[in-house]
Structure 1
């Protein structure tokens, strides 16, 4: 039963929705748990939809007073963004490819213009106010989205001969895409429509599409070949991965020599090669999979030899780079970059004349040119103490330039081209921030908290200098965290964050264990049986900010999403007194229920990250000791909580935050809100203006809780 929501303008007089309690006993390993809100899982049940709509109405009514602030924040974001803009063109073949946005339009356009000459490698400087000469609009996202409440594009590819376009669309938010193909000479969309895909790309000659499909658990498990002009029913299965712990992915080497098929779990991987001149030949295994060994493959030509550069962790915690013969990959390897503890090797990209390597050292991602024969590194240096840098947008096997991206918490996203002959960086574009933005008026630094076990936990801080250095006076703090899957929260610029900084808020990131900021061991120490380190690290970071005189609990709001939402649910149980508010986006707060059910999307794959509580009593007991839903504490003074979710999310089901909010209210939490997007996926709403309004909604709540709404 659902309590109706009053239309009273007074938030204090509103009555929150109360979900009916319906006992459901869950028994595992001799433990019996009564889950009274699992009935909310029935997504198609009108009573469930009515409850979610009641939650939305209650949230809207409770936060109606913030509407002027939300509108002001939206206008600030919009006013800082150059709405009509173009990306830096990337050369592929005889064309420059780029994206552009137009003022007033929700979605971008994918375009191209012809290269002026074969030797032209300097991208044209495009003026948003001036039509691009000879421009071809390949795809207009606004036209694709017309008539749909939600639109997301998945794959996007152009054949090597530049005559065909491939793209895929999702109108539900469930990440199942339909592939389309267009003849670029005639503009005609071909009848080759492939539904239910997760990824897709052309074969180099453009005569066929290679794509992946998912199983009932949303796991990409099968690779297919579709010959253009033939029925989908005639498509050829290239590979199937039966082990439900493993994802499947595929791609073509930059050299255009091999199709690489990759399968992997969180801890184990295997890669296979197929020569592109015989796609239906049986794939060749590079290295047979071994439990706990991860590796990736890159084709390179070294001193005229076809080699595979393999990045692996076999006896090398932070990974080692070796080279093997492409013809005999299981022969003796040649060590190119030996394992160096503390230097986490991340990626390697080979080109005709140079190889580049990305690695993480001392908490920052770094990039270097490498001699593939000797392993000698030439690291690119940058002046800022905190920054992000990486190679990207380099589709050509042979080019005199390499594209790279750079940014920091205060430096807007920047695109450089590295001239290989001179090692000179050429600035191609820096993200425009309208309204007179000056990076010198903002500061960034790194602090260190000390966890209960003595581990030093890095914290990144960003602030506006006119309000003083953090610690000079108590300030409102917005503390963000994630801490799973070895995902690192690297320094990055945000236009939307400026609205906080300009109101005196200090933005902070707690780089907790479970992420990858400090190397592979940092990740290992925050997963499986050591997962609680992630939560206690975040609590230590919050306490450090208080002890350092930067803030006080009533002026600190924590935020995290997805697995970071699990972090939010855990820390608010551990130390509710430390926070004035918690924003949990698509939060994984009912993790034990989900991980116990292998029929749910992606569950079995997750066992390598969290453990298998279904078959292991110790894992069950450990997970139950920290999962937020089971550990809500009765009678505790919880801070204000806003949970945001999406009805069609396939990664973290809406039912998790819905149940969590109901349980918090049971426990006496007085200020708990749920906002459920009824047409959206894991990433939230679609369309840039919609996403800006969504973030303005969240920021208004954060600023209100921080007392910084003015």
Structure 2
């Protein structure tokens, strides 16, 4: 008999769902822990489902007064969005490809139109809603999603001859995709069908073979398969298998289409394999054997001989000998560009000949193209027939630089030219496109600038705006402002904080100081807000992921009501280079949480906000961040919004049978086998450290999805149960037909955002605005 309340039994005025205490014990390293709520892990138990539904009912009942505000916020997002729109086309082969949306439809439509000829490299600027001459619809996701509560596309690829479409979809949210192949002449799917694939399937250039991935029981992509069209999936060939549970596997095609590539990596080690794509049934060969702690990536390029031959080469003759045997010397050379971190914390870029069969790359004999620098984190390189693009990070800002290969075939210097739009906070990314494309597409955005796509002339540096994200309703970037500030952490490290606000909603003036005892800050700001503003502080801080400046239509509804949006670029992310990441992982993970608290205290001390006017926000690993920060400084925040939060991290990391656990040990540590890691994680994981009396905690809203395979629903469900039992004002909202990314479909996503933002505004006292 269940002792939990059903939705019908809840008194929405006073009673949160009662979660039954069913103590279970676990003992590791001599430490015995009693867990009252581990029983909620039984996903197939009707009582568990009933309890989750009861939590949903409680949350919805407590938020019923916000229904008009939710509708208003949804209408604002919808009203600012050009619902019938389409992307700037990208050429591949004889076609221009794009996606378009139609008002009232949840999902995009993928389509193409024929190119005018071999010299047609300027995309046609299509008018939203107008018929596209020669359009052929490849896949209408709305049709594919019909009859399903959830729909996500995991793979989409067109064969080189343009005749067939590969598509793979997930209709449960568990990230297992059914792969199908469509004949684009008839619009009908072929008999070829493969179940339970991972994202990222692709055609080989011959159009007859497909390479795809499958996952193991822990949802880790670990096998690469080859499928031949017209044959049953049972005949598919296993091409590659990685038994080490720390490694994920991926498969792809070089931009030159000369090589098929298998890439595998743990959190700290990687390895690449190549196969000539004109021999798709051949054997892949290793590029550089894995070495623990060494990460690298490989990009095939065809470069001017002057760049890779003497006198620009300064390395031993072993690199030169293969070129000297060729007579007469051609103007270009096939090489591999290798980005790696062997003895180079922030990575360096090498140029090496393509190794012959039976040989591997020798990094010591390769040319250093871009050397390691302590203040620049190299992040990637892309090659095309006519240029190279280098991606890197400096001063917490992502950057791109281009090197022309066409205008100076005799060049001997690697003179990359940075692409910048001159803003202090900006995100610039250069899209290389297909191998033979003559010009770049440069994407640009900031906290106040909508996503903008430019055609960038590599030879002249001239850029032409192709499209800027439409924002309806009279949006003017001049009405908003953005700024970078620096908080000071417990150990003296300066932590960047990005802020954006609406100018006429935040009045500035000198701030004398702060009464927030114990706050850590470099001092007060003479042009901080004259009075504390309501503020939403977002953080992530894991996996070396960087939160770069980005524009958001839904965020405008907060800014227009006077909310300041801030991002705490805490350690564990990658904003300030690899050391920034290393200082926020494993035995240094606590820095992530104390950095976030320091950023919050800085914003209070400098007058930007006050503790009763600040909400903390984080999702997934960011949910762990805000959960830990709540335990450390519950008085600092008025509310905490935790999306799919990784709050029961110790329990998950102790169970190697759970999805992703073993692969995550390089990020968090291995508490199963290491007692020091166990004790350290036990000291900070949010679920383990909820105060016995948590009545003084801020208001907490945790959101999750029943079919999430990355952070299982049970983590926030247990956390909320423990918070409620300790007296904290906590609620759980769970989507019963969704995955880690939440609901699918843009209108459903807007409804979810409106729900969360209405809750934030209510916490901040702005629900009536």
TM-score of the two chains, using structure 1 as the length reference: 0.98
Q: What is the distance in 2 between the residues matched to 1:158 and 1:427? A: 28
Q: What is the distance in 1 between the residues matched to 2:154 and 2:170? A: 7
Larger Rg: 2
Q: What is the distance in 1 between the residues matched to 2:437 and 2:106? A: 34
Match of 1:376 in 2: 415
Match of 1:514 in 2: 572
Match of 2:234 in 1: 233
Match of 2:361 in 1: 330
Match of 1:568 in 2: 626
Match of 2:747 in 1: 689
1:212 partner SS: strand
Q: CA deviation at 1:421?
A: 2.7
1:245 partner SS: coil
Match of 1:47 in 2: 47
Match of 1:91 in 2: 91
Q: CA deviation at 1:362?
A: 0.5
Match of 1:433 in 2: 471
Q: What is the distance in 2 between the residues matched to 1:396 and 1:380? A: 20
Is the aligned partner of 1:646 residue 2:684? no
* Structure 1: runs of 5+ lacking an equivalent: none
Match of 1:458 in 2: 496
Deviation string, structure 1 residues 385-414 (Cα, Å, up to 9, x no partner): 10111123x432112211121100000001
Is the aligned partner of 1:525 residue 2:583? yes
Match of 2:269 in 1: 268
Q: What is the distance in 1 between the residues matched to 2:269 and 2:95? A: 39
Match of 1:499 in 2: 557
What are the residue-to-residue correspondences of 1:195-234 with 2, within 5 Å? Answer: 195-198=195-198, 199-234=200-235
Q: CA deviation at 1:552?
A: 0.6
Match of 1:674 in 2: 732
Is the aligned partner of 1:411 residue 2:430? no
Give the conservation status (yes or no) of the 8 Å contact 1:5–1:16: no
Q: What is the distance in 2 between the residues matched to 1:14 and 1:78? A: 34
Q: What is the distance in 2 between the residues matched to 1:668 and 1:166? A: 52
Match of 2:522 in 1: none
Q: What is the distance in 2 between the residues matched to 1:692 and 1:662? A: 27
2:39 partner SS: helix
Give the conservation status (yes or no) of the 8 Å contact 1:6–1:15: no
Q: CA deviation at 1:423?
A: 1.8
Deviation string, structure 1 residues 637-677 (Cα, Å, up to 9, x no partner): 100000000000000000000000111112221x1100010
Is the aligned partner of 1:585 residue 2:655? no
Is the aligned partner of 1:312 residue 2:340? yes
Q: CA deviation at 1:370?
A: 2.9
Give the conservation status (yes or no) of the 8 Å contact 2:453–2:468: yes
Q: What is the distance in 2 between the residues matched to 1:599 and 1:673? A: 29
Q: What is the distance in 2 between the residues matched to 1:381 and 1:698? A: 35
Q: What is the distance in 2 between the residues matched to 1:201 and 1:5? A: 46
Q: What is the distance in 2 between the residues matched to 1:235 and 1:5? A: 48
Deviation string, structure 1 residues 212-259 (Cα, Å, up to 9, x no partner): 000010000000110000011111111111111100001100111111
What are the residue-to-residue correspondences of 1:133-152 with 2, within 5 Å? Answer: 133-152=133-152
What are the residue-to-residue correspondences of 1:7-86 with 2, within 5 Å? Answer: 13-86=13-86
Give the conservation status (yes or no) of the 8 Å contact 2:534–2:562: yes
Taking structure 1 as reference, are residues 555 and 6 closer, same or farther at Cα in structure 2, changes over 3 Å only? farther
Q: CA deviation at 1:561?
A: 0.2
**Matched residues, number:** 706
Q: What is the distance in 2 between the residues matched to 1:298 and 1:462? A: 37
Deviation string, structure 1 residues 164-196 (Cα, Å, up to 9, x no partner): 101101000000001110011122210101111
Give the conservation status (yes or no) of the 8 Å contact 2:586–2:669: yes
Q: What is the distance in 1 between the residues matched to 2:6 and 2:212? A: 47
Q: What is the distance in 2 between the residues matched to 1:586 and 1:399? A: 40
Give the conservation status (yes or no) of the 8 Å contact 1:111–1:136: yes
Give the conservation status (yes or no) of the 8 Å contact 1:336–1:374: no
Q: What is the distance in 1 between the residues matched to 2:201 and 2:146? A: 23
Instruction: Give the one of 595, 598, 602 matched to 2:653.
Output: 595
Q: What is the distance in 1 between the residues matched to 2:595 and 2:341? A: 26
State which drifts further: 332-341 or 527-536: 332-341
Is the aligned partner of 1:540 residue 2:598? yes
State which drifts further: 17-26 or 486-495: 17-26
Deviation string, structure 1 residues 528-581 (Cα, Å, up to 9, x no partner): 000000000000000001001111111100100000000011000000000000
2:680 partner SS: helix
What are the residue-to-residue correspondences of 1:123-202 with 2, within 5 Å? Answer: 123-198=123-198, 199-202=200-203
1:193 partner SS: strand
Match of 1:120 in 2: 120
State which drifts further: 281-290 or 425-434: 281-290
Match of 2:296 in 1: 295
Q: What is the distance in 1 between the residues matched to 2:239 and 2:589? A: 38
Match of 2:426 in 1: 387
Deviation string, structure 1 residues 503-529 (Cα, Å, up to 9, x no partner): 000000000000000111000000000
2:190 partner SS: coil
Match of 1:557 in 2: 615
Q: What is the distance in 1 between the residues matched to 2:633 and 2:37? A: 25
Give the conservation status (yes or no) of the 8 Å contact 1:5–1:15: no
TM-score of the two chains, using structure 2 as the length reference: 0.91
Instruction: Give the one of 327, 333, 350 matched to 2:383.
Output: 350
Q: What is the distance in 2 between the residues matched to 1:230 and 1:656? A: 43
1:629 partner SS: coil
Give the conservation status (yes or no) of the 8 Å contact 1:344–1:520: yes
Q: What is the distance in 1 between the residues matched to 2:276 and 2:152? A: 32
Q: What is the distance in 1 between the residues matched to 2:422 and 2:14? A: 53
2:75 partner SS: helix
Deviation string, structure 1 residues 66-108 (Cα, Å, up to 9, x no partner): 0000000000000000000010000111111000000000111
Q: CA deviation at 1:32?
A: 0.4
* Structure 2: runs of 5+ lacking an equivalent: 306-331, 406-411, 509-527
Deviation string, structure 1 residues 109-143 (Cα, Å, up to 9, x no partner): 00101112221111111111311111111110100
Give the conservation status (yes or no) of the 8 Å contact 1:5–1:14: no
Instruction: Give the one of 308, 331, 349 matched to 1:321.
Output: 349
Q: CA deviation at 1:6?
A: 6.5
Q: CA deviation at 1:371?
A: 6.2
Q: CA deviation at 1:309?
A: 0.3
Is the aligned partner of 1:617 residue 2:619? no
2:688 partner SS: helix
1:630 partner SS: coil
Q: CA deviation at 1:7?
A: 7.9
Match of 2:523 in 1: none
Q: What is the distance in 2 between the residues matched to 1:341 and 1:374? A: 22
Q: CA deviation at 1:708?
A: 1.6
Match of 1:340 in 2: 373
Match of 2:718 in 1: 659
Question: Aligned-pair RMSD on alpha carbons?
Answer: 1.2
Q: What is the distance in 2 between the residues matched to 1:384 and 1:320? A: 27
Match of 2:317 in 1: none
Q: What is the distance in 1 between the residues matched to 2:433 and 2:388? A: 14
Q: CA deviation at 1:275?
A: 1.2
Q: What is the distance in 2 between the residues matched to 1:395 and 1:402? A: 7
Q: CA deviation at 1:611?
A: 0.4
